[in-house]
Amino acid sequence: MASHRRPKRPSRTRVTVLTATAAAAVALTSQAANAAPKPTKSEVKEQVDKLYQEAERATNQYDGAKENQEKLEKEIGRLQDKVAREQDELNELRTGLGAMASEQYRSGGIDASVQLFLSADPDDYLDKASTLDSLSEQQLESLKKVQAKQRTLAQERAEAAEKLKDLADTRTELGKKKQQIQSKLSKARQLLNSLTAAERQEIADSEARASRSSAGRVDLGNEAAASKFGAAALNAAASQIGKPYFRGGTGPNSYDCSGLTQWAYAQAGVGITRTTYTQVNDGARIGMSQLKPGDLVFFNNTEHVGLYAGGGQVLHAPYPGAYVRYESMSTIGSFQFGVRVTG
């Protein structure tokens, strides 16, 4: 005979455990379904290249601020030297007035006008026109010299103080740009570290092959150089093919993009500025159809620069992990314009 006993109801504890287990299983299944797939090697390379571009932008801004800092430090040094000289001259003028007062005292007392000057601001004193008649021509001339020297000294001290403030602001900007650069490069390293060792080696080998092969297999055509300076700069840069990109590098062992172009033109006997943002003004701007070997070429909102080599090729220092090499203009980025340096 079948039993008619009612089945035993599960305990509340057991129901809670089963419910929690089921919920966890659903959550894990959902996470697995929604988890982003691991980026491929080409996707990582694309993201890393973008970060390198952003780091290069911050590097250019850092280099510009660094250049400005050095300029300000020189200007402040000159101003401080000038202030010291002006102060010495002012002290000599005051000594002369003191000698004048002593002479008057020995001959019967100090002139009231000179006595007033020695105890008050000469600017305030000379404004009192009623006292001018009591001064001799020599005294008046001496007082005016002191007044002019004090005004000059005050202006120079104010200018030096303003330059010091600018310097403090520039140093703050340098710190921010350095953090930006480090942040971008750190993210790039993290992305590369997400790849296997074999994948990272493939990327490194690819960069090395691109640099080695660019020296002997690139067809540059037979275009005439923009000038003798352009030809010399291009030849100098070509001698650096295979040397590594390094942020802030200005040669001769490593380079960043504007460091290479500056170094190359220096070998041609032409001085150009340090950053891409200033090199855009180092010559006449030209369009793509006007480019000739030796011209500077700017990409990506003027954040990257190289030397036009002919045949649609650019000789440049690309980015971290790469080497000085020729590369097709079509693969570097968005072309902005060229600049022809005439010496």
Give 130-153 as a DSSP string.
Answer: GGGGGS-HHHHHHHHHHHHHHHHH
Pairing type for strands 284-286 and 296-299 reads unpaired
Element (H, E) at 297: strand 296-299
pLDDT, position 103: 59
**Residues with catalytic function:** 257, 304, 316
All domains of the chain in start order, with CATH:
41-193 (no CATH), 223-340 (3.90.1720.10)
* 99 or 155, greater pLDDT: 155
Per the CB < 8 A criterion, the answer to whether 240 and 270 are in contact is no
pLDDT digits (tens, 9 = 90+) for 17-36: 444 444 444 444 444 445 55
Give residue 289's pLDDT band: very low, low, confident or very high (50, 70, 90): very high
173: pLDDT strictly greater than 90: no
Tokens describing residue 279? 């090199």
Give residue 148's pLDDT band: very low, low, confident or very high (50, 70, 90): confident
- DSSP state letter for 310: E
pLDDT, position 3: 47
Give residue 291's pLDDT band: very low, low, confident or very high (50, 70, 90): very high
* 35 or 186, greater pLDDT: 186
Phi, psi of 307 (to 5 degrees): -110, 125
**pLDDT > 90: percent of the chain:** 28
pLDDT digits (tens, 9 = 90+) for 60-115: 788 888 888 888 888 888 888 888 888 888 788 777 766 665 655 555 554 555 55
Locate tokens 């120079």: which residue? 156
Name the most confidently modeled range: 179-188, 264-273, 320-329. 264-273
pLDDT, position 136: 62
What is the sign of the dihedral through the CA atoms of 88, 94, 100 and 102?
negative
> CA–CA separation, 300 vs 50, rounded Å?
11
Average pLDDT across the chain, whole number: 78
Identity of the amino acid at 230:
G
Identity of the amino acid at 244:
P
Tokens describing residue 133? 């008649």
pLDDT, position 304: 93
